[in-house]
Each structure stands twice: as C-alpha cells, then as structure tokens.
C-alpha cells in the first residue's frame, strides 16, 4: 500500500514572540492538511539555554 506524505511548505510571517512579546519575523511550516506548526520566538528568547529548558 502506498502512503503519501503530506506536502509541507514554509512561509515567512510577522509575529509577536511567545515569550517576551517583541515583534519579529519568523517562519512557519504549513501542511496540506491545514495543520500549522510554529515556534515563534525572537532571537534573544530562542537562545540555546531556553532550547535546553524546553526539552
């Protein structure tokens, strides 16, 4: 049986950082199914220290 992988594309959007609220520009990945995945953090909040805390 053939399983098709949904097509995913990336768009650049303006957003407010989820942690500090600063406005920025980031990328979101959108699947054909309509489900959006996004992790929109500004550069300061997306440091390696926070990355380790989120895991």
pLDDT at 29: 74
| Residue 34 located in a structural domain | yes
* Full residue range of the structural domain in which residue 48 is found: 8-54
Q: Is residue 12 part of a domain?
A: yes
In a domain, 2, yes or no: no
Classify residue 42 as left (phi > 0), alpha (psi -120 to 50) or beta.
beta
Per-residue model confidence as pLDDT tens for the chain (55 residues): 565 666 777 888 888 887 888 887 777 777 776 655 556 677 777 764 445 555 5
The pLDDT value given to residue 2:
60
Domain total in the chain: 1
Angle (nearest 5°) at CA 34 between 29 and 38 = 30
36 within a domain of the structure (yes/no)? yes
Residue 50 falls inside a structural domain:
yes
Please give the sequence-ordered ranges of beta strands (E in DSSP) within 1-55, or none if there are none: 8-16, 23-31, 36-37
In a domain, 28, yes or no: yes
d(C-alpha 9, C-alpha 15), whole Å: 18
Q: What is the pTM of this model?
A: 0.42
Residue 3 forms part of a structural domain: no
């Amino acid at each position: 049986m053939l399983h098709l992988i949904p097509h995913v594309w990336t768009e650049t959007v303006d957003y407010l950082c989820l942690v500090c609220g600063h406005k920025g520009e980031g990328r979101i990945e959108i699947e054909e199914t309509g489900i959006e995945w996004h992790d929109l953090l500004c550069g300061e909040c997306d440091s390696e220290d926070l990355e380790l805390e989120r895991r």
